[in-house]
Amino acid sequence: MLIEFKDVSKSFKKQQVLKEINLQMKEDEIFGIIGPSGAGKTTLIRLLIGAISADEGKIRLSDYQVPDLKALNILGYMPQNDALYNDLSGEDNLLFFGGMYQQLKKAELKHRVKEVLELVELSEDAVKKVIHYSGGMKKRLSLAVALLHSPQVLILDEPTVGIDPLLRKKIWDEFYELKKQGKTIIVTTHVMDEAIKCDRLALLYNGSIIACDEVEALLNRTKNHSIEELFLAQGGKQV
């Protein structure tokens, strides 16, 4: 197991956001975390990247006990917003974020920047300021930043919200390609048709994992082959 959450709980000001989370993520898989907004998805991600620390339980990322500064070397993260410097060119954005990783030497960094720009088809717009980019271009550049240092684990917060179907397909093709290379991809989403593209899914509801299994298996649990039903069932129980 590459990533392991063990009995992880987290509260903010007495309100429990995550309750005894147990999760494992493997190499070469696309792992989806799905849940309505407020379910605790972002908190889960923030725990994994070390932005906040857990009240209870342990999180292991490869050989590191999170939070660990060194663990960040193998993490790539694409936030929900584009999180780019609008007054810089696409290339300068990549060079800046790339400069934060020791393992990328100058010549190597330049080479990688060229590579990822080609990958997301932005080579021609590399010198343009990001402020002049379209929404789709920004999203692609944002992905390029996350891929720049060839991370072992790629975390994507709602990666394809608000982008056109063509680009969406392209981005997912890229995820499958990365998976083939043995990487772990963690996707959070609240969109069902995106969730079913993952290999395995964890259903997060009110801070608890209500189900975690392969997508096919999850779908087979329901009458109409829809993940919504699993949530609805859970919701019904609680009321």
Partner 1 sequence: MKTWVIVKRIIRQTVNDKRSMGLILIVPLFLFTLIYFLLGDSEYSPTIAIHGLPEQLVVELKEQDVTVIDYGMEEGKAAVKDETVDAFLYLEQQEMVLLIETSDAVKSSVIQKAIQNATKELNPGGGMRTEQLYGDSEESMFNNLGYVLLGVISFFLIFILAGISFVRERTNQTMERLMITPVKRWQVVLGYTLGFGVFAMLQSILLLAYVKWVLHMSIQGSLLAAGCVMILLSMTAVCMGAFCSIYANNEFQMMQFIPMIVIPQIFFSGLISLDTIPYHLGVLAKVMPVYYACDALKAIIIKGATLSEVVMELLALLIFIGLFFILNIFALKKYRRI
Residues that bind partner 1 (CB under 8 A): 49-53, 67-70, 72-73, 75, 77, 79-88, 92, 96-97, 99-102, 129, 145
Given the complex with partner 1, which of 159 and 209 has the nearer CB atom? 159
**How far apart, in whole angstroms, are the C-alpha atoms of residue 55 and residue 133?**
41
Q: How far is the CB of 155 from partner 1 (least distance, A)?
A: 8
Provide, rounded to whole angstroms, the least separation between the CB of residue 193 and partner 1: 25
Residues in the chain: 239
Is the backbone peptide bond immediately before 159 cis, with ω within 30 degrees of 0?
A: no
| Residue 203 β-bridge partners | 34, 211
Rg (CA), the chain: 18
Query: Nearer to partner 1 by C-beta: 145 or 198?
Result: 145
Judged by beta carbon, residue 91 or residue 211, the one nearer partner 1 is 91
The nearer residue to partner 1, 66 or 218, going by C-beta atoms, is 66
How many Cα neighbours within 13 Å face the side chain of 180?
A: 6
Nearer to partner 1, 65 or 220 (CB): 65
* Least spacing, CB of residue 47 vs partner 1, in Å: 10
Biggest CA–CA distance in the chain, Å, is: 59
- The secondary structure element, H or E, covering residue 159 is none
CB of 138 to partner 1, least distance (A): 10
CA–CA dist 68, 64 (Å, integer) = 7
Q: CB of residue 66 vs partner 1: minimum separation in angstroms?
A: 9
As beta bridge partners, residue 211 has 203
Q: Which two tokens stand for residue 109?
A: 């960094």
Distance CA 237, CA 222 (A): 15
Cα torsion 65, 103, 80, 166: sign: negative
CB of 168 to partner 1, least distance (A): 21
Shortest Å, Cβ 163 to partner 1:
17
Nearer to partner 1, 92 or 229 (CB): 92
The two tokens of residue 34 are: 């799905």
Residue nearer to partner 1 on the CB measure, 127 or 239: 127
**Upper half-sphere CA count for residue 226 (Cβ side, 13 Å):** 8
